[in-house]
Structure 1
Amino acid sequence: MIRLYGLLFLVDLVLVVIALIDCLSSEDAAVRNLPKVAWVFIILLFPPIGPIVWFVAGRPQGQRVGRAGAWRPGSGFPEYERPRPLAPDDDPEFLRSKARERREDEELLRTWEADLRRREEELRRRDPST
């Protein structure tokens, strides 16, 4: 029984919070039947009846959810104008940077190999027994 009361309390609390946010974010001129201040008091003082009455009799009619209004398909970028990042294998600058890195790595490897051959040659000259 206590769990049921807890659940009903949470539902009531959520309903009050949603109605209060909706009421406070509505335009003053669009609120129906009573001033906005009166609706805030009704929502806060008479839960859960106050929020239900707000949604039925006080909420502006035809109000869209959110400030931007309703989403309409096709209201964004047309597909051919949509900015798209290039894939790495299509981006010429990326390919140039990879080619430059590869050349630098190959040059570094050639330098290391030459240094290694030079050191091996010095070791052979110092120790002829090998």
Structure 2
Amino acid sequence: MARLYMLLFLIQVVLAACALIGCLSAEDGATRALPRIAWVLIILVFPLVGSIAWFVAGRPAPADGPQKGWLAGGGTGPRRPAAPDDDPEFLKSIDERSHRDDAALFQRWEDDLRRREDELRHREGDPPREGDRPEV
């Protein structure tokens, strides 16, 4: 008999945890019948009855159309990318920044090369001065 009570207690705890997680992850104003804070208090004070009430009467209404699974999401708004590397605008901005940085680096290299070539021409074209040592 003790095992049955333990099993029922574990089921109640798991049900309350699932209801609490579902309630806390619901969008503000999306819960039915009561505000979200009221549902949290009901679930915490009356775990079994509150959890069942949340699943029956409190969960946000499903979006129009068939659900495609719990990972697909149920929002009707535009889907946000899951990560920055999935966002095409972010990837485009990274690509543009990379091209801009590469062009700036290339321009600095060219300017440095021109400066060095000018210095070399200047040294070769000028006769050695009194203080300069001849190069061997």
TM-score, with length taken from structure 1: 0.50
Q: Which has the larger radius of gyration?
A: 1
TM-score (norm 2): 0.48
